[in-house]
Structure 1
Amino acid sequence: MTNEIIRALENAGREGEVIPLCIMEAERTYNYERLVKQLKKAGRTAEAEEWIHKGIVATRKKWPGIAGFLKKELLDIRSHKKDWLYVTALCADEFFEKPCLKAFEEIQKASEKAKVWPPVREAILHFLRSGKNPREGSNDWPLPDTGIERANSALFGGPPFTDVLIDIAIHEKRVDDVLEWFNVHKQKRKDWMGDDLKDRVATAIAHKYPDKALMIWKELAESRISVANVAAYSEGAKYLRKAQKTLMQHGKTSEWDTYLHRLKEENRRRPRLIEILDALSQKPIIRIKH
């Protein structure tokens, strides 16, 4: 309905009535998105920012999707102004609320433009190691306050936040740190650790620590093929191929053949699994008699 009214006003040459209508709608229905878009369209970015802040306060708890949209609009306004310090601060707010590699990369892009990446990076890594938020009383934090109420971090458990530290270390190709944080992570998450994370760690360390990567891939493969399920066998084979490639690259063909033979011996009563393992052989297949 509001869209139709706006079109009618614009067609009648009454554009000046559009924004007051959107203000009334935002105050009554919390549709701040339309108002902000109209203000930006009119070039009234200062007013748009005011309504963005009002809208975030009004919607962040009950309608976080609206608040998220408004933050993106604020980011867009400040990016067009090339206010890179403030843009970096917005990205940092997002990171501290929902820490992940993608958010880390966004901070890096913005802070490099603002020429503050080294201190920002160090503060972020310190936060992930210690849990200490640099925005709270740190004299070394180079970014301004965004004026947006800070939300609690969505990180699970206490510091160090090893899953994010591992992802960042992989991204930055710091192999020794990948292995260090992976070992810490294993101690923290004794009950459960995602297979995807294990696989990414193995891939990251394989060229420098092939034996450790092989241990991870073998563990992943054997946990899969222990399940009497063809789909699980195929998943296990995916990890076995990675182990095979690493062994071949290091001239350890005989070690691979011995390992594959052992798997076949241990699973000789699973013909579908044997077929999959046969496909990994480097020489003609000799069937194991049942």
Structure 2
Amino acid sequence: MGLSTNPRHTEQGEGKQFLIAAYSADLAPNGATHLRIAQELDEAGRTADALEWAERGLRTAGNRYDLDRQLVEWVCARYVRVGRLDDALAVRRDCFRSQSSLTSYRSLRSAARACGRWEEERTAALNLLRASAGSSDFVAGVGHPARLLVDVLLDEGDVDAAWQAASGHADDRQLLTLADRLRDHRPTDALGVYLRLLQPLKQATGDEAYHEVARLLRSIRACHERLGTPEEFTRYLAAQRTELKRRPKLMKILDSNGL
């Protein structure tokens, strides 16, 4: 399909052809330049050529970890628009394998559900993460697969599996999230996390740290209540207040939290 023969449109079209030629002369290996060309062609009404260039960009990038995310989004949106849901799923699957992240996992899930194929895709994705979780040889620029597995399982609502996967790998943010979600049905495990996280925090100063100390102490109290050991918490709290009594602002915050 040619560009418009209207003089003004012809001038604009020639400008786009110049840009496309310039972009084509120096194509980025991650597909970013292919996307620019696709966008220029799309604006010129050459939708089929635009998609062809975008797809070429995906093929060129292959399984690069730095595959341009906007290119992926552009192609998938175009596929969905024309009802090519299986093709969109294939792109999402390849992207998850090359750029494993919580975001790419969620995108894979949405695409698979649109095709009614989430169960098989979920199994394959989790198997991939589990196979990678024990390896220290992971791709630069991508989070550690063991920690990603924890985030994915938490996102799936499988807290017990996430707790199992977290052993020796989870960071403090993940441990705190796990403890909060485990507290009602596994208070002993949650208590251990809260106690560990509190120790280094007691060395910090400032309002943010003091409010987090109070938050952890409230969580520790909740665990003891769940375990039926409130007296043990009373003794523990008294010991903490004695240890930290020279921080009046912290004491005031603890008082305001009923601690």
Q: Which residue of 1 aligns with 2:30?
A: none
SS of aligned partner of 1:277: helix
In structure 1, runs of 5+ residues without a counterpart are 1-8, 133-151, 283-290
Distance 1:122 1:32, change over 3 A: closer
Match of 1:244 among 211, 215, 221: 221
TM superposition shift of 1:44 = 3.2
Residue 109 of structure 1 and its aligned partner are, at CA, apart by: 0.8
Matched AA of 1:172: E
Residues of 2 paired with 1:218 and 1:10: CA distance? 74
CA deviation map 1:60-114 (0-9, x unaligned): 99xx58x333222212211212222221122122222232222211111101112
Checking the alignment, whether the CA contact within 8 Å between 2:150 and 2:162 is kept in structure 1 is: yes
Q: Report how far residue 162 of structure 1 moved.
A: 2.4
Q: Does 2:182 match 1:205?
A: yes
Q: Which amino acid aligns with 1:197?
A: Q
Task: Map residues 230-269 of structure 1 onto 2, 5 A cutoff.
Answer: 231-248=208-225, 253-269=230-246
Q: Where is the helix percentage greater, Structure 1 or Structure 2?
A: 2
Work out which of the residue numbers 33, 44, 56 in structure 1 matches 2:46: 44
Q: Does 1:12 align with 2:13?
A: no
Task: Give 1:192-231 correspondences, 5 Å limit.
Answer: 194-227=171-204, 231=208
Could you say which residue in structure 2 is the equivalent of 1:166?
A: 150
- Where does the alignment leave 5 or more consecutive residues of structure 2 unmatched? 28-32, 134-138
1:26 to 23, 26, 32: 23
Could you say which residue in structure 2 is the equivalent of 1:83? Answer: 84
Q: Judging changes above 3 Å, is the alpha-carbon distance between structure 1 residues 35 and 102 closer, same or farther for their aligned structure 2 residues?
A: closer
Contact 1:178 1:205 (8 Å CA) reproduced? no
TM-score by length of 1: 0.70
Amino acid at match of 1:49: L
8 Å contact 2:20–2:40 — kept in the other structure?
Answer: no
Equivalent AA in structure 2 for residue 87 of structure 1: A
Would you say the 8 A contact 1:128–1:165 is kept in 2? yes
TM-score (norm 2): 0.77
Superposed CA RMSD? 3.4
Identify if the C-alpha distance between structure 1 residues 60 and 120 changes in structure 2 by more than 3 Å, giving closer, same or farther: closer
Q: Deviations over 1:91-150 (max 9, x none)?
A: 122222232222211111101112221111111111111139xxxxxxxxxxxxxxxxxx
Equivalent position amino acid for 1:194 in 2: D
Give the aligned length. 244
Instruction: Give 1:93's aligned residue.
Output: 94
Q: 1:231 to 1:172 in 2, by over 3 A?
A: closer
State how far apart, in whole Å, the 1-side matches of 2:249 and 2:124 are: 52
Residue 278 in 1 paired to residue 238 in 2? no
CA distance in 2, matches of 1:79, 1:174: 30
Change (3 A) 1:242 1:36: same
How far residue 155 of structure 1 moved from its aligned partner, in angstroms, is 4.7
Aligned to 2:160: 176
Q: Cα 1:100–1:203, aligned 2, differ >3 Å: closer, same or farther? A: farther
2:18 maps to amino acid: L
